[in-house]
Chains A and B, each alone.
Chain A
Amino acid sequence: MRPEVALPVLLPLLSGALSLLFWRSRPVQRFIAVAGNVALLLVSVWLFVAVLTDGYITMQMGSWAAPFGITLIADMLSAVMILMTGIIGLAMGVYSLATTGRGHEKFGYYPLMHLLLAGVAGAFLTGDIFNLYVWFEVMLVASFALLILGGERAQMEGAIKYVTLNLLASVIFLSAVGLLYGTVGTLNMADIALRMDEAEHSGMVEVLAVMFMVAFGIKAAAFPLFFWLPASYHTPPVAVSALFAGLLTKVGVYSLFRVFTLIFDQTMGYLQDIMLWGAVLTMVTGVLGAAAQYEFRRILSFHIVSQIGYMILGLALYTPLAIAGGAFAIVHNIIVKTNLFLISGITYHLQGTYQLKKMGGLYRERPWLAVAFFISAFSLAGIPPLSGFFAKFVLVRAGLEAEAYVVTGFALAVGFMTLYSMVKIWNEVFWKALPEDNNVPASQTSVGDDGRLLKPTLWMMYTPVVVLAMMSLLIGVFAEPIMQVMIVVGDQLMSPSGYIEAVMGVSASAEAALLDPIELQAERIGDDAEDSP
């Protein structure tokens, strides 16, 4: 019985339910938003430390032995992702207090935020492929509602694309789960991995692998399936954008990592090439798309796509070091990308626009904000000694070791293009003088439901930004211990026997492949019957 593996899912669900109970009470909901996310962060640290000391942590829901029940399992990758969820959840909880308009708060912003976090945490921890689909849907429905909260025209248009393409991905995923069940007769991911080797139709397995790749590729916004992301991520209030940017696509990437290292590790063959070039095209198209944009959040949205390419590159190279680099890229990107969106929210509050051409002069006005942006932006571009440098360094090293020179060259070139976009934002927003036609809101206490501040509670906006910028800096400075963790992630993913044993039971794993599951269950019932006459 290890409660820490279930609590990251249960706590946000509880916070969400509590917030719903206090539907009319804004102060209580705001209190829960912070307190619930502090608790989530504490639990995620607990889980991370437990995984660090004990290795795999599993819990069989309802005490149904695997593969019959739903398994929750935390390996190092899950634990790291949950830790990131906790950090981003708390940052968003605090930041939302300042930026969420009363209209949004009245219509359930906080409960939806908690449910979104529950869905994300559930997807990271489940060991059951259909359960993964369910958590995806929990996450999606919460994100749909958050995306359209406010009901502006741009939000509706963005939401239609977001909803359609994400539902399409869900249905492809669901169809793949159905076909997978028809092929191997089980839904537990560890059990699937065991039975995959004996699957009769090798052609079917390849079809399944491609279906999972497409479904998770849409969710992760990989080339050529990313179009929903830049069409929708810049439309909702900025706290929602930041939350989506930090966590949602990463769930897709996590699922790709999980499925292709655990279940389809035999079929990687030519899929590896597709994935490799998909990763390169994702990086390149994302960064080129960003170069053409002059809207703060749209530039950042295209950079999400570009950065997804690096993570998938780690998976596609398919060596322990590359996977470690991919995981490092995920961690770095969650922190930095969220922070850039948060900074865009502050600049919007200060200057009343996201259009780079209309902004300016912030370096003189807010030098510390400029420093925070500088750290995050240059970390994104991979300048040493910030977090992005080490993520890229490990990936490039792994690429060179795998002798994928062209791909590695692209990865480096995209870094320069990222720098170009970031310098563009720096020049336009912070460096140049404020253009005269910008009417900065005089009092900075503008009221309204459009995401603008109700009161200048700037410290609530600054605190998460400063903390996340510091984390990016610290990841760079203390890259060695973090890299140790990532190497554990890479090793665990590349040798899934540990995962399978943790789920199926240490001794049972070898025999369970041979034994008929019904007989196993019958034996257990027989044992129980003997124990209680």
Chain B
Amino acid sequence: MEPLMALAIGLLYAAAVFMMLRRSIVKLVIGLLLLTNAANLLIFTTAGMTRGAPPLIPEGMLQPLGDVADPLPQAVVLTAIVIAFGVLAFAVVLIRRAYEIVKADDLDKMKDTDT
């Protein structure tokens, strides 16, 4: 399972970088979206994947029996997803406003503040 996930994560990172290097601001935001998803999957995978073993402690015992899935990365990923959702919502509004003002879906037309 891990090699497959690693491949998928690598593809996501690559696609994200490709999209972010485009001139269109819509594709830029899509790139950011893919990038955050890649990072979330990365956290999920690096902590080790355990199938079908929820981290529950049987009644009357102090620790779980055998290997269980690590709940912490899942909590971390959940937090990261929520944050990414909020930030991307902002980014979508931002590119819409930028499009309304600049009247172009092109980063090369947004160089007024660079020089």
Tell me which residues from 23 to 60 in chain B have a Cβ below 8 Å from any Cβ of chain A. 25, 28, 32, 35-36, 38-40, 42-44, 46-48
For the complex formed, measure the closest distance between the CB of B96 and the CB atoms of chain A, giving whole angstroms: 10
Is A167 in contact with B47, judged by CB distance below 8 angstroms? no
Instruction: Kindly state whether residue A254 has any CB partner on chain B within 8 Å.
Output: no
Interface centre among A159, A163, A170, A174 (most CB of B within 10 A): A174
Q: Mark A159-185, 1 if CB is under 8 A from B, else 0.
A: 111011001101100110111011101
What residues on B are CB-neighbors of A177 within 8 Å? Answer: 43, 76
Q: Which residues of A contact B20 (CB under 8 A)?
A: 164, 168
Taking CB atoms, residues of chain A closer than 8 Å to B46 are 178-179, 181-183
Contacts of A153 in B (CB 8 A): 101-102, 112
Given contacts A164-B32, A174-B80, A182-B47, contact A148 B42 (CB under 8 A): no
Contact check, A156 vs B62: say whether CB atoms are below 8 A apart. Answer: no
Asked whether, in the complex, the Cβ of A156 is within 8 Å of the Cβ of B97, the reply is: yes
Which residue of A167, A179, A185, A235 has the most chain B CB atoms within 10 A of its CB atom? Answer: A167
B107 within 8 A of A: yes
Contact A134 B48 (CB under 8 A): no
Q: Does B65 contact A (CB under 8 A)?
A: no
Checking A152, A156, A175 against B39 with a beta-carbon cut-off of 8 angstroms, the contacting residue is: A175
CB-based nearest B residue for A147: B94
| A-contact 0/1 string along B85-110, CB 8 Å cutoff | 01100110011011001100001001
- Chain B: number of interface residues, binned into ranges: 35 or more
| Main secondary structure on B side of the interface with A | helix
Q: A167 contacts B91, CB within 8 Å?
A: yes
A449 to chain B minimum Cβ distance, whole angstroms, is: 15
Contact yes or no, A181 B43, CB < 8 A: yes
A420 within 8 A of B: no
A148-B94, A164-B32 as given contacts; A156 in contact with B47, CB under 8 Å: no
Whether B62 lies near A525 (C-beta < 8 A) is: yes
B107 near A160: Cβ-Cβ < 8 Å: yes
Q: Are the CB atoms of A163 and B79 closer together than 8 Å? A: no
Given the interface pairs A160-B25, A181-B47, A182-B48, the reply to whether A144 lies near B36 with Cβ below 8 Å is no
Contact residue among B62, B73, B79, B91 (Cβ-Cβ distance under 8 Å from A178)? B73
Q: Chain B residues with Cβ under 8 A from A178's Cβ?
A: 39, 42-44, 46-47, 73, 76
Chain A 112-143 interface 0/1 with B at a Cβ cutoff of 8 Å (1 = within) = 00000000000000000010011001001100
Docked-complex contact A163 and B62, CB < 8 angstroms: no
State the CA gap A157–B110 with chains docked (Å).
6
Give which listed residue, B28, B62, B87, B112, contacts A140 with CB less than 8 A: B87
In the bound complex, CA of A18 to CA of B1 (Å) = 49
Contact of B62 (CB < 8 Å), options: A141, A159, A526: A526
A158 close to B (CB within 8 Å): yes
A151 at the interface (CB under 8 A from B): yes
In this complex, what residue of A is CB-closest to B70? A185
Question: CB distance A157 to B113 under 8 Å?
Answer: yes
Task: Give the docked Cα–Cα distance between A348 and B111 (Å).
Answer: 24
Residue of B nearest to A186 (CB): B72
Least Cβ–Cβ distance between B37 and chain A, in angstroms? 10
Chain B residue at minimal CB-CB distance from A181 = B47
The answer to whether B11 has its CB under 8 Å from any CB of chain A is no
Bitwise, A480-508 to B at CB < 8 A (1) or not (0) is 00000000000000000000000000000
Q: A160-B95, A522-B62 are in contact. Are A231 and B80 (CB under 8 A)?
A: no
Task: For the complex, give the distance between the alpha carbons of A352 and B110 in Å.
Answer: 25
Q: Across the interface, do A156 and B43 meet the contact criterion of CB distance under 8 Å?
A: no
On whether the beta carbons of B87 and A167 are closer than 8 Å, the reply is yes
Beyond known contacts A160-B28, A178-B43, A183-B46: 4 more, CB 8 A cutoff = A156-B98, A168-B20, A181-B46, A185-B47
Question: CB within 8 Å of B: which residues of A?
Answer: 130, 133-134, 137, 140-141, 144-145, 148, 151-154, 156-161, 163-164, 167-168, 170-171, 174-175, 177-179, 181-183, 185, 187, 231-232, 234-235, 518, 522, 525-526
Q: Would you give 24 A-B contacts (Cβ < 8 Å), ordered by A? A: A137-B83, A145-B90, A154-B113, A157-B110, A157-B111, A158-B113, A160-B28, A160-B94, A161-B113, A164-B32, A167-B36, A168-B35, A170-B87, A171-B39, A174-B43, A175-B42, A178-B44, A178-B46, A181-B46, A181-B73, A187-B72, A231-B113, A522-B63, A526-B62
